[in-house]
Amino acid sequence: MWKKTFITGCLILILVVASPLLTANKAGETPINVMVLSGTTGLSLVKLLEEQPQIAPGVTFNYTVIKSPDQMSAKIIAGEADIAAVPTNLASILYNRGIPVQLAAITNWGVMYVVGRDATITTWADLKGKEIGVTGKGSTPDLLFRYFLQANGIDPERDVQIRYYASPAELAQLVIADKVHLATLPEPWVTEALSRNAALRVLLDYQKEWARLEKRDVSYPQSALVVKTQLAVEKKAAVRAFLQAAAASSAWVVENPSAAGVLAEKHLSISSTAATAAIPRCNLRFDETHQVQPEIGYFLEKLYSFQPQSIGGKLPDEGFYLQK
């Protein structure tokens, strides 16, 4: 009896230990692990998640969808993620903290909006005296929000009441339930809120305000793809091919919102109608780093001026930007 149990136990142990080896050896070499966030950063890559195409000869790409930015940074620090979708400022923090990653591409150019039911708010100056919900103190959305207020002559400490919430998911629920009347939300939560409470409107647009204040043609580079430095050197061709495939996926999503919505529901746990409606507001535009490096540098400099720690205490050097 005991002997049998023991032998079974040993067999299970051997299987458990050996199983990663088996899957890893199938492709002949270690696969490249691509990790995306289940939000708008994942949205542009949804076609890759669905089709899992053969991007480069002899290289397998494994796709994982991660729920929160915290888990994502843990995976990157642990070296488990080879290519990962992260907020641009987090990429800079990781690089400045000595984690060997490089910025490969920008995936979207801002997904932040102010949502509420008070239609009299049409400019940022109208926020004076209001109470407003913001997520993630010290995050890019928070820093930009305070900047926009100040630029419109509003003191964020005195003229408005900012209440902080832990996550957009939580804040969106409170907005839908009318417990919070004004909130800054990212997509796809904006669409989620609008579709579940008919009284809500998109009142203000971060992206337009940024372009207006900074006198720039484009909005700010909010989310990015990072690549492990070692991988970028050793498998340059595969990385390049991946970036091209990702750009194609992004373009396809923008042109086919309804088909992309269906895939988003399957892979990213966003409802297909919400995803379809959200896509035009997600400012998806895939640019490789070398195409838009001045814009990224400008954005990071600006964040640095608000709060140096938000990009890791200093501007990243040239090694941060993946070159062609």
**Least distance in angstroms from the C-beta of 140 to another protein:** 10
Q: Figure out which of the listed residues 165, 206, 242, 304 binds another protein, where binding follows CB under 8 A.
A: 165
**Is position 77 an interface residue for another protein (rule: CB under 8 A)?**
yes
Distance of alpha carbon 261 from the chain centroid: 17
188: preceding bond cis by omega (within 30 degrees): yes
d(CA 201, CA 257): 21
Q: Which is nearer to another protein, 221 or 312 (CB)?
A: 312
Give the type of residue at 97. Answer: R
Q: Figure out which of the listed residues 9, 138, 280, 319 binds another protein, where binding follows CB under 8 A.
A: 138
Tokens read off for 86: 């992260």
**Is position 97 an interface residue for another protein (rule: CB under 8 A)?**
yes
**Least distance in angstroms from the C-beta of 56 to another protein:** 30
Contact region with another protein (CB under 8 A), list: 32-40, 45-53, 90-98, 121-129: 90-98
| CA distances, 68 to each of 104, 123, 248 (Å) | 21, 32, 25
E strand or H helix at 186: strand 182-186
Q: Put residue 190 in one of left, alpha, beta given phi > 0 → left and psi -120 to 50 → alpha.
A: alpha
In sequence order, the 6+-apart residues with CB closer than 8 A to the CB of 209 are 124, 148, 151
SS3 106: strand
Site for another protein, residues 287 to 316, rule: CB under 8 A: 309-310, 312
- 284, β-bridge pairs: 108
Contact region with another protein (CB under 8 A), list: 24-32, 135-143, 186-194, 263-271: 135-143
Q: Figure out which of the listed residues 81, 99, 111, 227 binds another protein, where binding follows CB under 8 A.
A: 99
Q: Figure out which of the listed residues 10, 15, 24, 166 binds another protein, where binding follows CB under 8 A.
A: 166
**Least distance in angstroms from the C-beta of 89 to another protein:** 9
Q: Which is nearer to another protein, 77 or 259 (CB)?
A: 77
Question: Rule CB under 8 A: which residues touch another protein?
Answer: 70, 73, 77, 90, 93-94, 97-99, 136-139, 163-166, 170, 309-310, 312
